[in-house]
Amino acid sequence: MAKQRMTRRRWLQLTGISIAAMGLAACGDGGSDAPTPAPNAPAAGSGGEIALEVNSAGEDSRYDKERLEAPAGAKITLTFTNRSTGSKLFNWVLTQPERFLQVVNDGSAESEANGFLKPNDANVIAHTKLLKAGESDTITFDAPAPGEYPYICTTPGYFARMKGVLVVSRYKRWTPPQRWSPSLVLFYARSEPGSSASRSPSPKNEKPSTSSESVTVGRIAIYK
């Protein structure tokens, strides 16, 4: 018996030493100043396909939508239409976060032929053509990593009012199907003798069941 007690005591001592060592190792890692690596952007097309539409708000130098949404990794097809009837020129330019002012400043030195955009600007994710009244342009691009991305019009003098944000989420938003159809599923329930399910009241003039168990069979409708 004494030998057994010593064995248990020894085992507890060894366990305590192991736990303490693990705790010290964890504390040592917590003092590291190394930044946590950022998650990789989802693979292109992994978020499915999504169609977006945005227009200028008539004669007003604004977009009719100041917020668009898409899942990360989605293949985005966006159509922009200049709904004005005058001589205003509009475009739709998606930029990296907090870089839209740089895009505007760099584009101010460019001509109308370049859409008031610096060629091959690394701060621009996607953009349409510079459109005249009544014109439309459709572009396709891959949604970037999750985050909020500004979109603006780079025509001089318009960016302060003609702006919005594309919100890229990590998960694809679930939408119910347009049509729901019922699907019948059979279910089987069995209760043991003496359970509440087997003691259901019997109609008058009917002898109680002497069966050792009760069985219920039915069906439910599941919509899908």
Q: What is the pLDDT of residues 114-173, one digit of tens each?
A: 999 999 999 999 999 999 999 999 999 999 999 999 999 999 999 999 999 999 998 765
The residue type found at 135 is E
Query: Contact, 9 vs 1, CB < 8 A?
Result: no
Q: What percent of the chain has pLDDT over 70?
A: 55
Mean pLDDT of 46-51: 84
Exposed/middle/buried for 160, CB within 10 Å: 0-12, 13-18, 19+? exposed
Query: What pLDDT score was predicted for residue 60?
Result: 86
Residue 180 has pLDDT above 90, yes or no: no
Report the chain's mean pLDDT, rounded to a whole number: 75
pLDDT range class, residue 58, cuts 50, 70, 90? confident
Q: Which of 115, 132, 126, 122 has the alpha carbon at shortest distance from 68?
A: 126
User: In this predicted structure, which of 9-13, 31-35, 84-88, 126-130 has the lowest mean pLDDT?
Assistant: 31-35
Q: What top-level class would CATH report for the domain 49-169?
A: mainly beta
Query: What pLDDT score was predicted for residue 194?
Result: 52
The residue type found at 222 is I
The residue extents of the domains of the chain are 49-169, 182-223
Could you count the other beta carbons within 10 Å of the beta carbon of residue 191? 15
pTM for this model (two decimals):
0.59
Residue 217 has pLDDT above 80, yes or no: no
Q: Which of 185, 209, 183 has the alpha carbon at shortest distance from 198?
A: 209
- What is the distance of C-alpha 156 from the center of its chain? 34
User: In this predicted structure, which of 102-106, 140-144, 175-179 has the lowest mean pLDDT?
Assistant: 175-179
Query: What pLDDT score was predicted for residue 84?
Result: 93
Residue 22 has pLDDT above 50, yes or no: no
Query: What pLDDT score was predicted for residue 197?
Result: 45
Residue 53 has pLDDT above 80, yes or no: yes
Q: List for the chain the helix, strand, coil content (%; round to 5).
A: 20, 30, 50
pLDDT range class, residue 178, cuts 50, 70, 90? low
